[in-house]
Amino acid sequence: MRLSLLFLIVVNAFASFSLMGQDVPAPNKTNVPHFKIAAAPSIPEELSSSFFFENRERLREILPDSSMVVLFSAPIRTRTNDIDYPFRQDPDFYYFTGVNEDNAMLVVFKNPMRINEKWYREILFIENDNMIKQVWNGPVLGADQAKDVSGVATVMSNTEFKTMEFNWAEIKDVYSNNNLFIELDDLKHPGDLASMVSHFKLKTERAGKEILVNEGEDLYAKLRQKKSKEELDMMQRAIDITGDAHINVMKMIRPEMTEYQLQAMIEYTFQFNGAEVAFPSIVASGDNGAIMHYTENRELLIPGDMVIMDIGAEYEGYAADITRTIPVSGVFSEEQKKVYQLVLDAQTVAIRYATKGYKFWTPHEEAYRTIGKGLIALGIITEWGDIGKYFIHGTSHYLGLDVHDAGLYSALQPGEVITVEPGIYIPKGSPCDEKWWGIFVRIEDDILITDGPAKVLSERSPRKISEIEALMATDNALTE
């Protein structure tokens, strides 16, 4: 079966049932084009054990003497009854181990520690071979494979941690992560993770040690803030796939399709290229554009409206986050063009300030200033203090293993990746001329800080008015 036919069947099938018991608008089936996947970007190599080993070495370098770090994996969360949410590893735990399993724990010592006549620099605790779990959920890593993935020389069963006693007299500072707050009552399937957390708390309490969680998170953020070449390769892959998803939608969008059909195209593109969804896709047409985190994605696309697509693929744990705003009918109105161009101008200025040495917040300040001047010039506002009525969010956040990634929000430095996403939102009833009502625009790109000018990693996705309209004007009723 050809891909275009398969996708058409999937898309049209969405119209034949209701979501969560509520009626969903039926699309105009004759207006749904055939689907052609964009060419996949080159596939980078997977992260090697040396990458995770070096991350632990860098952590050890910034740890104070006589300290240790104890990191816990993410838990399994129950969605409903006996159905779990898809597992996603805790970003800090993944960054230092590469292990993508629950019920695991990493211990890193600043200085080698002698335990039961043996010396250890680090220990990875993982789940025993659980045959029942493997029947239902697939194989677990096991000690040998865990060593290969993480580069940790000592891998033990997580049950061994319960009876292991550290030489607490040699430990001054104990750092952990937010999963320390997991409690047995929070989880339907607590397993060994919650047990390890409980035992860790008990051991430190008996030793009279305070567990430093916030301080630990700052340490990990300091390391994760700057991306290595390997990380940038993974991020570029996610960003390119996200750009392809935008291109596919621009080519195939038609009035009277639905937001969820666009979402289907987007997420099909992600998975076809070996990526996952980094966050719930925002496909907000018409007045839904006023909702920053709109994820219902169930409305019909109306001629004359615009649609905001705030989306991101995730590849090998690393996220993209790109937003494009396009006209449903393929052509911007004059008022839409003016607002869109103002947002694009603000983004261009902000990117210029996404440069080594500037404060993290400088791009936002410059975008805010540009939008303020533009809103006054267009007559949408008359007072500087009214900018916040239409530009209601910050412009940047770090990007990496999290969509809103860890970072210290200090002066920008080479190797950091941030987003730059100004927006203007003019709801109906706003105190301005009615011709501006219902215009909602957000443009977001992923930016690498370098020793020179900022590098736009997401150029694959068109953002100029002329580029978007030209792409949407092409004949896209593809039959391959």
- Pair 346, 414 in one domain: yes
- Annotation says 404 is catalytic: yes
Task: Report yes or no: 459 and 354 within 8 Å, Cβ to Cβ.
Answer: no
Supply the pLDDT for residue 82: 80
CATH assignment at residue 181: 3.40.350.10
Q: Give the whole-angstrom CA distance, residue 275 versus residue 319.
A: 10
Is 209 found in the same domain as 172?
yes
> Which among 90, 92, 230, 310 is annotated as catalytic?
310
Tell me the residue ranges of DSSP E strands in 13-103.
67-72, 78-80, 83-84
How many Å apart are CA 269 and CA 313, to the nearest integer? 9
**Residue 284 located in a structural domain:** yes
For position 344, what pLDDT does the model report?
A: 98
SS (H, E, C) 451-474: CCCCEECCCCCCCCHHHHHHHHCC
Q: Is residue 188 part of a domain?
A: yes
Instruction: Determine whether 199 is an active site residue.
Output: no
pLDDT recorded at residue 321: 98
444 is catalytic: yes
Given the structure tokens 């070096």, which residue do they identify?
54
232 and 217 housed in the same domain = no
Q: For residues 278 and 272, what is the distance between their CA atoms, to the nearest angstrom?
A: 15
Query: Domain of 461?
Result: 3-32+228-472
230 is catalytic: no
- Residue 42 in domain: no
Catalytic residue among 224, 298, 324, 442: 442
Which of 169, 204, 224 is the last residue in one of the domains?
Answer: 224
Q: Which of 2, 114, 206, 393 is catalytic?
A: 393
In this predicted structure, what is the pLDDT of residue 475? 66
In which residue are the tokens 């939608």 written?
249
- Look up the pTM and report it: 0.90
Burial label for 331, CB within 10 Å (0-12, 13-18, 19+), is middle
In a domain, 193, yes or no: yes
Q: CB–CB of 448/232 below 8 Å? A: yes
Q: Which of 79, 117, 293, 475 is catalytic?
A: 293
pLDDT on residue 1 = 36
Tell me, yes or no, if 2 is annotated catalytic: no
**Nearest partner of 171 among 38, 306, 275, 70, judged by Cα:** 70
Q: How many domains does the chain fold into?
A: 2
Q: Identify the CA nearest to 275 among candidates 307, 246, 239.
A: 239
Based on the fold, state whether residues 189 and 210 are members of the same structural domain: yes
Check 57, 186, 404, 433 and give the catalytic one.
404
Could you tell me the CATH number of the domain that includes residue 398? 3.90.230.10
Both 429 and 291 in one domain: the answer is yes
Q: Is 293 a catalytic residue?
A: yes
Complete DSSP assignment for 289-323: GG-TT-----PBPPTT-EEEEEE-EEETTEE--EE
Rounded Cα gap, residues 472 and 303, in angstroms: 14
Q: What is the pLDDT of residue 140?
A: 81
Same domain, 435 and 381: yes
Mean pLDDT (10-residue bins), the chain, 480 residues: 38 39 51 51 78 98 98 90 89 97 95 94 88 70 93 94 92 94 58 85 96 97 97 97 97 96 98 96 98 97 98 97 98 98 98 98 98 98 97 98 97 98 98 98 98 98 98 64
CA distances from 171 to 109, 142, 174, 321, 370 (A): 9, 30, 7, 41, 52
Q: Is residue 37 part of a domain?
A: no
Q: Among the options 240, 444, 445, 446, which is catalytic?
A: 444
Residue 38 covered by a domain: no
Is 65 assigned a catalytic role? no
Q: Is 475 exposed, middle or buried (0-12, 13-18, 19+ CB in 10 A)?
A: exposed
34 among known catalytic residues: no
The SS3 assignment for 124 reads strand
Q: Is 421 a catalytic residue?
A: yes
Q: Is 189 a catalytic residue?
A: no
- Tell me whether residue 364 is one of the annotated catalytic residues: no
pLDDT for the residue numbered 68: 98
Interior angle at CA 321, CA 323 and CA 330, nearest 5: 20
- Rounded CA gap, 155 and 122, in Å? 9
Burial class (CB in 10 A: 0-12, 13-18, 19+), 220: buried
Q: How far is the C-alpha of 358 from the C-alpha of 416, rounded, in Å?
A: 13
pLDDT at 20: 41
Q: In this structure, are 214 and 237 located in the same domain?
A: no
* Same domain assignment for residues 371 and 409: yes
- Return phi, psi of residue 309, to 5°: -120, 100
Helices (H), 46-123: 49-62, 91-97
